[in-house]
Amino acid sequence: MVKVISIISLILLFFTSCNARINGVLTRNGQADLQISASLEPRMASLLRRLADVSGSDQSGILLLDGPAISASFLSASGVSSAALKNISSNDIEGPVKILNLNEFLSGSFGGSLGGSQKSFIEFSQSNSSGTGRCTISLNLDSGPSILALISPDVTDYLSALMAPIATGEILTKEEYLSLVSSVWGKGIADEIAGAKLLASIEFPGIITKVKGGGFSGKKADFNIPVLDILVLESALSYEVEWKLF
């Protein structure tokens, strides 16, 4: 069985008090070549060790962010063809991840408040006849737990320990959530969660004409997403990029 701390590490890239950066290129066939870097904040690193102690994990020689273990977790996800993350330190990783098919990545369909129709977590479409393309990412309180389950039930258990609505489905405001975290785990953890960011800069296969949830210039779209928004999902999150091929 994969150690709890290794499973947890995968989701830390995107859903906790972990500052992460994603630079990448999206090709015409829906393939994404990504360069990922992520760093744990000190209080969250300490909390992770405490949670691992409670779970009975043997931490001797284990990295909190384990590059090779996270790479293996990525490779188990649908649509991923390669991953080679390495450790810069016990709390920092970086390296490339290649997603062969965005429509297959964490494949699954979910209903919810984004209109009631069935939607997948990420959708990529392109029409050579119209010369246009579109990519969307959608996340809400209905789809969040299902998406986490595609990664690992242990991830949901961990985020439930953090009382994150994305895992529990509970309706909370961001202020209510930070107050709850502060009362259980301390203000330091709450402050790290409040300050954590996911930065993404992606080059698309054509000149961008529209971006929802970020900015753009030429073929490149940039996103600066507070991790707190993802954890709480006080409002449904939807990111969209449209481009023209010629």
pLDDT in tens, 87-134: 888 788 899 999 998 888 766 554 444 444 445 678 899 888 889 999
pTM summary value? 0.80
Domain boundaries, the chain: 4-244
pLDDT in tens, 37-49: 988 878 877 877 7
Band of the pLDDT at 3, cuts 50, 70, 90? very low
What pLDDT score was predicted for residue 107?
66
3-state secondary structure labels for all residues of the chain? CCCHHHHHHHHHHHHCCEEEEEEEEECCCCCEEEEEEEEECHHHHHHHHHHHHHHCCCCCCCCCCCHHHHHHHHHCCCCEEEECCEEEECCEEEEEEEECCCCCCCCCEECCCCCCCCEECEEEEEECCCCEEEEEEEECCCCHHHHHHHHCHHHHHHHHHCCCHHHHCCCCCHHHHHHHHHHHHCHHHHHHHHHCEEEEEEECCCEEEEEECCEEECCEEEEEEEHHHHHHCCCCEEEEEEEECC
Better-predicted residue by pLDDT, 211 or 111:
211
Average pLDDT over residues 13-30: 79
